[in-house]
Structure 1
């Protein structure tokens, strides 16, 4: 009877060891999954922040382009006015404009 009991206890110990290993693997997987979910959330937060930064940069770019166009238009007007004055003063031939 003792041999049967010893054999049953050994099988029980093996089964408990397998169960502990299985639980440990499951807990590790859950921890890794949690780590991955945290990392994914951080990446999504970074993406949202970068999208906001990009929107801001595009807005500034459009403002700079508008300002550049305005300055370019004003420079062309100033050049035209100076050429007109020089033509009227006889310093510049009309065909040199």
Structure 2
């Protein structure tokens, strides 16, 4: 092989190596971007979970309060009906 051929072969090998490096970098950047997107989605899901847990707690509190109010209304209705019956029976 002549010096010119050796240089051409070396340059071609260098081009292939640079191309392989470029492809590896592209793949790495793609993985990093995908990883960042996944982390962002996990953060959004955790935020939603926290918000939903808080809303559930508030709903349970309201349901318990409504149950208490319902029992009180029922008790008062029974008292009112008994009073009306007592008045009608006289």
TM bracket (short chain)? over 0.9
Deviation at 1:12, TM superposition (A): 0.8
Residues matched between the structures, number: 88
User: Alignment partner of 1:19: what SS?
Assistant: helix
Task: Quote the residue 1:72 is aligned against.
Answer: 74
Task: Quote the residue 1:81 is aligned against.
Answer: 83
Pairwise CA RMSD of aligned residues? 0.7
Unaligned runs of 5+ in 1: 89-97
Whole-Å separation in 1 of the counterparts to 2:60 and 2:13 = 69
Deviation at 1:84, TM superposition (A): 1.0
Task: Quote the residue 1:59 is aligned against.
Answer: 61
TM-score normalised to the size of structure 2? 0.94
Whole-Å separation in 2 of the counterparts to 1:49 and 1:56 = 11
Whole-Å separation in 1 of the counterparts to 2:82 and 2:4 = 115
- Cα deviation per residue 1:7-39 (whole Å; 9 max; x = unaligned)? 011011001101110111011101110111011
Whole-Å separation in 1 of the counterparts to 2:22 and 2:57 = 52
Task: Quote the residue 1:95 is aligned against.
Answer: none
Name the larger-Rg structure. Answer: 1
- Cα deviation per residue 1:40-68 (whole Å; 9 max; x = unaligned)? 10110111011101100110111011101
